[in-house]
Amino acid sequence: MGLTAARLLETLNRQWEKVEDRLNVSFEFFPPNSPEMADTLWQSVVKLAKFKPQFVSVTYGANRSTRDRTHAVIERLVQETDLTPVPHLTCIDASREEIADIVSRYRQLGVNHIVALRGDLPASATQTGGDFQYASDLVAFLRQQGVEKISVAAYPEVHPEARSARHDLDNLKRKVDAGATDIITQFFFDNCAFLRFRDRCRSAGIELPITPGILPVSNYRQVERFASGCGTRVPSWMGHLYEGLDDDPETRRLIGASLALEQVKLLINEGVADFHFYTLNRAELSYAICHALRLVGLPGRHAAPQLASV
């Protein structure tokens, strides 16, 4: 290791040691659509619970069956764990009455934190159906309904539908002004893009906490597809690291965990202490990263929550 690299590593480790007892993580899952996928999800929940996440979020689809599965996962998390479950909620084609009913059902479970999203438009559509055109409309309505915490999404590399970075930032500001309480970003691989975005937010008067979304990569081809749909740039050097590994999932996982850990440590050096991991319902990579960050047994960190048998 060269002297410069060694000094950088030493600097990163010193900075990490200063904040390690203040690091917070959260994990995102999606509703399973088969018994086998349900088993995988709950094994992942149990494994990651030891890191005492701030919350675990559950995504929300555009059709009724997926919406019901989201509620079922949230309900089971409430009943069988000490974790804080946070449902995603989209407003595509939704009426105010439907959203109010969903909020009421979650409130009955003791859930009062929601990730508010517009949702993806159908391919041929230019605007939503229903009573909400924008995520900011949903945020305002959730605030009227008394939802205490409302997380919203942001795009460090600009939402693919936005006319410009300025237009995208204006949309985020509207969500903030409507009552959002914190911001979670889309995944990214260019830390400089996130840091520039954070600076632009502060310059625009957006002072809410901004949590970076981290996606550890084990399936590079899958992530390329995800990235093309959400405006995330995948650097060419990353693709080279996964070349020739289509039939070697173990090596892919090692690379993915190493890259994401390095990304997190570099962000810690920039003052970031909260991280949201997109798990894709698999625990291995996020577990390895959080273990390397020593998120168990730190001063002030509670013991892992107790879970019922799943």
Q: Mean pLDDT across the stretch 160-178?
A: 95
Give residue-wise pLDDT tens across range 274-293. 999 999 999 999 999 999 99
- Residue 303 maps to a domain: no
- Predicted confidence at residue 217, as pLDDT, reads 97
Q: Report the pLDDT averaged over residues 169-188.
A: 98
| Within-domain flag for 162 | yes
Could you read off the pLDDT of 126-152 as tens digits, one per residue?
565 689 999 999 999 999 999 999 999
Question: Considering the domain boundaries, does residue 125 fall inside one?
Answer: yes
**DSSP bridge pairs for 87:** 58
Asked if residue 234 is part of any domain, the answer here is yes
> What is the reported pLDDT for 177?
98
pLDDT of 13 higher than 90:
no
Mean pLDDT for the stretch of residues 35-55: 97
Question: What is the arithmetic mean of pLDDT over 208-232?
Answer: 95
What total of structural domains would you count in the chain?
1
Within a domain: 309: no
| Domain-embedded: residue 68 | yes
**For 295-310, what is each residue's pLDDT tens digit?**
875 444 444 434 443 3
Q: Mean pLDDT highest for which of 51-65, 108-122, 203-217?
A: 203-217
Helices (DSSP H) in 145-275: which residue ranges?
165-178, 191-203, 220-230, 236-241, 249-268
Which range has highest mean pLDDT (31-35, 66-70, 107-111)? 107-111
Widest distance between CA atoms in the chain: 62
**271 pLDDT more than 90:** yes
Number of neighbours of residue 226 by Cβ within 10 angstroms? 17
Q: What pLDDT score was predicted for residue 124?
A: 55
Q: Answer yes or no: is 233 within a domain.
A: yes
Quick check: helix, strand or coil at residue 165? helix
Token pair listed for 294 = 């020593």
Q: Which is catalytic among the residues 17, 20, 28, 270?
A: 28
Task: Kindly state the average pLDDT of the residues 27-40.
Answer: 96
Q: Identify whether 148 is a catalytic site residue.
A: no
Give the structural domain span for 75.
3-292
Block residue for tokens 């810690």 = 268
Supply the CATH number for residue 136's domain. Answer: 3.20.20.220
Long-range Cβ pairs for the range 255-262 (8 Å, 24+): 255/217, 256/216, 256/217, 256/218, 256/285, 257/216, 257/284, 257/285, 257/288, 257/289, 257/292, 259/216, 259/217, 260/214, 260/215, 260/216, 260/217, 260/285, 260/289, 261/288, 261/289, 261/292, 261/293
Predicted confidence (pLDDT) per residue in 108-133, tens digit: 999 999 999 998 766 555 565 689 99
Q: Which pLDDT value is given to residue 45? A: 98
DSSP code per residue over 89-125: EE-TT--HHHHHHHHHHHHHTT--EEEEE--PPPTT-
Inside any domain, residue 79: yes
Instruction: Give the pLDDT mean for 12-18.
Output: 62
Q: Count the Cβ atoms, other than its own, within 10 Å of residue 42.
A: 21
